Every structure is written in C-alpha cells, then in structure tokens.
Amino acid sequence: MRGLLAILLLTLAGCLPLEYQQPQRTEPESETSRPLRVGTLYGPTTYVVGAAGAQGLDYELALGFALHLGRELEVTPYASLPELFDDMSQGKLDLIASSLTDTHLNRSFWRFGPPIYRTRVQLVYRRGHPKPDSLAQLTEPLMVMAGSNHAEMLATERRTLPVLSWEETTNYAAHELLSMVASGELAYTLSDDKTLAASRRLHPELAVAFSLGTEQEVGWALPEVGSHRLLSELLDYWNTLKQAGTLKQLEEKYFGHVKRFDYVDTRAFIRAVETKLPKYESWFREHAGELDWRQLAAVAYQESHWNPKARSPTGVRGLMMLTQSTARRVGVTDRLNPEQSIRGGSDYLHDLLKRLPASIPQPERLWFALAAYNIGLGHVEDARVIAQRQGLNPSSWADVKSMLPRLTQKRYYQSTRYGFAQGGVAAHYVDNIKRYYDTLVLLETHLPPTTGAPLDLAKSRE
C-alpha cells in the first residue's frame, strides 16, 4: 500500500491510532547527519506525486524544514493511518506532516508543532437528498473512521443527544466514505471543510448539511519522547516562514481557489474531460513548453470551454480566445484552427511569463501571467503598485490578488498608469483555472485499495 500513488485519499485530519505505545528513544548524536524522516498521508493538500513531481502543502513545508535543518528529506507516504501511527510509535519517523487536528486527545499521544491552518467539521450528504438541519434529524446511517476526531466529536455530542447513533469503521478511508455518500451508498459522513472542498472537484454531488463545533487547529505531530530539539528547530523554522510570508503564499496556493464551488460548472467540466479533451490533448502536450500540459488545457477550458469556434462580443476567437493583434504577434493565421490557437495561446502565455519582474517567484509567476492573459500585463502591474502602497508584497500573488478588485474603484484606479480594469474578474479567472487544473490532476490518478480490516471490526455506536 505504502508505495501506491493516490491523490484522493484525502487529508484525514485529526485521526488517532487505535492502539500504540509511545516510542522510548532519545535523539542520537548522529541525527543531524541522517535524513529528516517524515510520514504523511496521500492527499491533494498533503502529498501527491504527479507529472510535475511531488507536491502538497505538507510536502512543501517539510521540504523547506529539511533545508532549514541542512538535512535531506525522506518522505514516507502512507495509505492507512494505523500503519503511519505504528511506525511513528516505533521511532521510525521524526514527525508526521499530515495536518492532524490538534485536539486534547491527540495531545495525549503526540507533541504538536505550531498550527498550520484552521478547519471545521461538516456533516456531508448527497445533493438532492433530504437535508438534515441537525444531528437529531438523521434518519439514515452515519459512518465515520474509527479513532478519528469525528468519532470523538460525536461521542461528545451524544452527551446531550442520547439517541444519536453512528458507525465507526476501520474498513474505509475518508475518501471512500465521501465517495460512498456521493454515489448514494451511504447517507452521511463527517469531513473537514478543506478535505471536502478538494473532494467536490471529483464528486460535485457532495453537499454540506451543517457544521459541527468550532474551528480546530491542525498541525504536525512529533513524538512525545526525544523530540525537544526538533520542536525547537520547527518553531524557529515557522517564525522564518511567517516573516517571509511563505505560509500565506502556500495557503493561497492550496486553498485560495477552492472556497468557491459551482455544482453545474464542475459537472460540465468532468463531462467535457470525457467528451472534448481527447480531441485536443495531444496538442496541449505538444505545445505546453515549460508548463504542465494540464495547466494549458485548464486555461483553454476557462477561455472557451474547449470550443474551437468560440467567439466573444469583443471579437476574441478560438480555443484560446486570441485577439487579432495577439494572433498576429504569435504567428497565428487562423484563430479557429485548434492547433494554431493552442500553440499561439501557449506562446503568448510564455511571453507574459518572461516579461514579469524577476522578483516574482515560482510557482506564483504563473498566477500573475494568467491574470495578465485576462486583463493585460499593465493592469496587473497597477495592482502590484496598489499592493505596495498598502504595505503589501507586490511579488506575492495572495497580496496582489486581494488588490485586483480595487482596479474598479475610482479612488484607486485614477492614480494608476493604465486605469480602470475588471480586476476582480481576473482574480476569479485565475482561481477557476487552478480548480480545473486540480481536477485534471485528480482525474488522472487512481485510488489505492483499502487496507481495511474484516467487516466485523466495524463498531456500531448506539
């Protein structure tokens, strides 16, 4: 299981091992000379290996931490929590970087680092089915992972609602429970909001009934024994990240574009991947250049919904919706020719990437270039100027994105070089492309089979 590639084994935040013992070890003198051993769970925000290599919020943070320590990074991805926690308890890992929920019960087993972000637990049901307004209204089975913070939360809720019942399972992982709800096999499950947002890119039928409790912090877990020095280094690393604005940038990269969800659009996109994309995929691959071909395909879908004859009221045409002047600049003679349009759109996007200031880092350069593809490089530069005037970082996409809507406000655009622009539209444009790209990545991967125990290990809490 450990080596199987899986993107949608979603972040199982807050889960606990069923049984384990704390490792009895001390840090060896040679620790700084060996790799930093990190355990994680497969998931779109934690760790995944795709065409562009390894990525994920926890992975990027762990890679940075290893560099901070001057050590190599050794990542072991797991497909099941029991295996992950067992290796941690045996001293085979230095830390768990998988955004675990920092609960009182979790702290009785692990030592937690600083919080990465906050999340909320939500009750999930299938769109079109009766929507419950509270736990008291549940009339069909509710299933959660055994040993998870979700089970802990339900046990707390039952103190005031004795009739509450649910099933705890060791047979299904979080992504499987969500898939079962989406298909109608299961009525309800619980999920954290960020995991659910990622899952809805593949299962738009998933819907939120209500939230439970308050927001919870998630972070990394270290062994209770022998991790004092590593925790001190982690706190120092975190302070460095916060001062540099790196945490804010990573949060925007992984979560900034999943807050908005459009059921109809998501279903239409998945259908288009099946029916339209195969006609053009080879050209996206051929002309992607320095981009992941799926990024180029995502731009084309945002522009034309992969319609080679698309036309806007302003006169832009084709799969990549090129203007006449842009088409001439990149050597496109027929904007309705899909291959020419893809090649021309890619050339134009690469040109924008080259013209951006050198101070803008990767991968944020692409987000700036996409905004420029939509409203022009001059207007993007105006938004950078506004950000700088507000004391923000003009080379941070999160900061500039928050300023783009101000290009429609006279008190801001009247002092810019290029004036009024639909900056808010450009911000949504980039978010949409990022969501389409995420979905393409998810659709290209396969889930691992569950390691689940026999069915009789599932416990019913009634």
Q: Is residue 24 part of a domain?
A: no
Question: Both 288 and 188 in a single domain?
Answer: no
Say if residue 25's pLDDT is above 80. no
For residue range 238-289, what is the model confidence (pLDDT) as tens digits? 999 988 888 887 887 777 766 666 677 888 888 899 999 999 999 999 999 9
Q: Is residue 59 within 8 Å of residue 47, measured between CB atoms?
A: yes
> How many angstroms separate the CA atoms of 462 and 171, rounded?
19
**pLDDT (tens digit per residue) in 132-187:** 999 999 999 999 988 788 888 999 999 999 999 999 987 787 778 888 999 999 99
**Pick the catalytic residue: 152, 168, 303, 364?**
303
CATH number of residue 300's parent domain: 1.10.530.10
- Structural contact between residues 143 and 186, judged by C-beta atoms closer than 8 angstroms: yes
- In angstroms, the first-to-last Cα distance of the chain is 32
Same domain assignment for residues 183 and 272: no
pLDDT attached to residue 122: 96
- pLDDT by residue (tens digit) across 155-164? 999 999 999 9
CATH number at residue 73: 3.40.190.10
Q: What pTM does this model have?
A: 0.67
Angle (nearest 5°) at CA 393 between 390 and 396: 130
- State the chain's mean pLDDT as an integer: 84
Domain that holds residue 209: 119-216
Dihedral sign for Cα atoms in the order 113, 118, 123, 129: negative
The verdict on residue 323 lying in a domain is yes
136 and 72 share one domain: no
Residue 450: inside a domain, yes or no? no
Virtual CA dihedral for 343, 345, 347, 349, nearest 10 degrees?
Answer: -150
**Same domain (yes/no): 330, 406:** yes
DSSP category for residue 450: P
The fraction of the chain above a pLDDT of 70, given in percent, is: 86
pLDDT of residue 261: 67
Within 13 A of 130's CA, how many CA atoms are on the CB side?
A: 7
Check whether residue 107 and residue 235 sit in a common domain.
Answer: yes
Smallest CA-to-CA distance from 299 within 240, 354, 371 is with 371
The candidate with the shortest Cα–Cα distance to 40, out of 119, 113, 96, is 96
The DSSP string of 320-371 is TTB-HHHHHHTT-S-TTSHHHHHHHHHHHHHHHHHHS-TTSPTTHHHHHHHH
CA triple 427-429-431, angle to 5 deg: 70
pLDDT value at residue 7: 34
* pLDDT 10s digits, 207-235: 999 999 899 999 999 998 889 999 999 99
Residue 461, pLDDT score:
46
Pair (287, 308) in one structural domain: yes
Neighbours of 168 (CB within 10 A): 19
140 found inside a domain: yes
- Concatenating the DSSP letter of every residue in 105-157 gives HHHTTEEE-S--EEEEEEEEEETTSPPPSSGGG--S-BEEETTSHHHHHHHHH
CA dist., res. 321 & res. 315, Å (int): 9
Asked whether residue 167 falls in the same domain as residue 314, the answer is no
Indicate whether 153 and 246 sit together in one domain. no
Catalytic status, residue 303: yes
Whether residues 185 and 298 fall in one domain: no
Question: Does residue 437 register a pLDDT over 80?
Answer: yes
Instruction: Identify whether 18 is part of a domain.
Output: no
Same domain, 343 and 422: yes
Q: Residue 70 pLDDT more than 50?
A: yes
pLDDT of the residue at 257: 64
Q: How many domains does the chain have?
A: 3
Assess if residue 454 is contained within a domain. Answer: no
pLDDT digits 0-9 by tens, 310-343: 988 778 999 999 999 999 999 999 999 999 999 9
Read off the tokens for 252: 């925007």
User: How far from 37 is each of 54, 84, 222, 244, CA to CA, in Å?
Assistant: 16, 12, 11, 25
**Are 193 and 268 members of one domain?**
no
In the numeric block, which tokens belong to residue 461? Answer: 């809490």
Question: What pLDDT is recorded for position 30?
Answer: 54
β-bridge partners, 49: 54
Nearest-angstrom CA–CA distance, 80 and 78: 6
Mean of the pLDDT values across residues 188-214? 89
Percent of the chain with pLDDT over 90: 56
In a domain, 448, yes or no: no
The residue with greater pLDDT, 195 or 445, is: 195
Tell me, yes or no, whether 453 lies in a domain. Answer: no
Domain check: are 246 and 295 in the same one?
Answer: no
Q: Domain boundary at 203, 226, 255, which?
A: 255
pLDDT digits (tens, 9 = 90+) for 347-403: 999 999 999 999 999 889 999 999 999 999 999 999 999 999 999 999 999 999 999
